[in-house]
Amino acid sequence: MEELRREMSHGTYGNALVTAVASVAVTRLCLGYDSTFHLADSPPLPLTAYPMVILVGLLASLLGIVFNRSLLRMTSRKYPAWLLGAVVGACGGLFVLFLPEVTGGGHDLTRRLLEGENHAASWLAGLLLLKLLFTLLSYATGAPGGIFAPILSLGALLGYLTGTIGMAWAPLFTPSPARLATVGMAALLSACVHAPLTGVVLIVEMTGQ
């Protein structure tokens, strides 16, 4: 309701509540009670870590501006559908062979980051840039596909990259990169979709933290 800006009537809330409760109940019965992602390290954050959390939020806001403006600009231009589709398809095939993390929604990549898988900052930065560009190009083709999951994956990459650099330069003030990855997910989703409550609730639900 926050994202779609629908009217906030009793009927709207009632339908949403019944739908949400029913879907969660069915999901739990069929798939169990484990959360979508598992955080490797989840003690309460000390106050000394809050500046780094704020930094991730600021970086996510900037990336959200870049993402939204680039997306609108690319979708407003008229490219030959066959040419753009062929370019994106060829790039996608190469990425699947040599760097599969760039393609798809990024669920497996996000899971590995939240579980604390170590990566060099240069690899994370390159992957963030490539995934950002490929997501924009893929969406510009007009082919059916989601953009929600890639945004979460980009946010996780941004938070994890910030945490990795912070651990090298200011380890006493930096929580684990996996923790900052969850902050990045909620922050970038809020920046792109302009739905901060949805971002916070969604990440809490997906991580169980």
Q: In the prediction, which pLDDT does 47 show?
A: 92
For residue 173, pLDDT over 70 is answered with yes
Please, is 83 exposed, middle or buried when counting C-beta atoms within 10 Å of its C-beta (0-12, 13-18, 19+)? exposed
Q: 129 vs 3, which has greater pLDDT? A: 129
Q: 141 vs 66, which has greater pLDDT? A: 66
Q: What is the DSSP letter of 33?
A: S
Q: In whole angstroms, how far apart are CA 101 and each of 3, 106, 107, 122, 136? A: 28, 7, 9, 15, 15
For residue 2, pLDDT over 70 is answered with no
Burial 47-68 (b: 16+ CB within 10 A, else e): eebeebbebbbebbeebbeebe
CATH number, domain 37-207, options 1.10.3080.10, 1.10.287.1080, 3.30.365.10, 3.20.20.10? 1.10.3080.10
Would you say 183 and 197 are in contact if contact means Cβ atoms under 8 Å apart? no
For residue 5, pLDDT over 80 is answered with no
Q: Which residues neighbour 52 within 8 Å (Cβ) at sequence distance 6 or greater?
A: 162, 163, 166, 170, 173, 174, 175, 180
Mean per-residue pLDDT, 74-91: 86
Q: 78 vs 19, which has greater pLDDT? A: 19
Domain positions in the chain are 1-33, 37-207
Q: Indicate the SS3 state at residue 27.
A: helix
Q: In the prediction, which pLDDT does 134 show?
A: 95
For residue 171, pLDDT over 90 is answered with yes
Q: Indicate the SS3 state at residue 154.
A: helix
For residue 115, pLDDT over 70 is answered with yes
Structure tokens of 39? 């955080």
For residue 60, pLDDT over 90 is answered with yes
Mean per-residue pLDDT, 113-126: 94
Q: In the prediction, which pLDDT does 4 show?
A: 65
Mean per-residue pLDDT, 41-58: 90
Q: In the prediction, which pLDDT does 125 show?
A: 97
pLDDT band at 197 (very low <50, low <70, confident <90, very high): confident
Counting residues of the chain whose pLDDT is more than 90, the rounded percentage is 61
Q: In the prediction, which pLDDT does 37 show?
A: 87
- Report the alpha-carbon angle 80-69-125, nearest 5: 95
Q: In the prediction, which pLDDT does 3 show?
A: 64
For residue 144, pLDDT over 90 is answered with no
Would you say 88 and 130 are in contact if contact means Cβ atoms under 8 Å apart? no
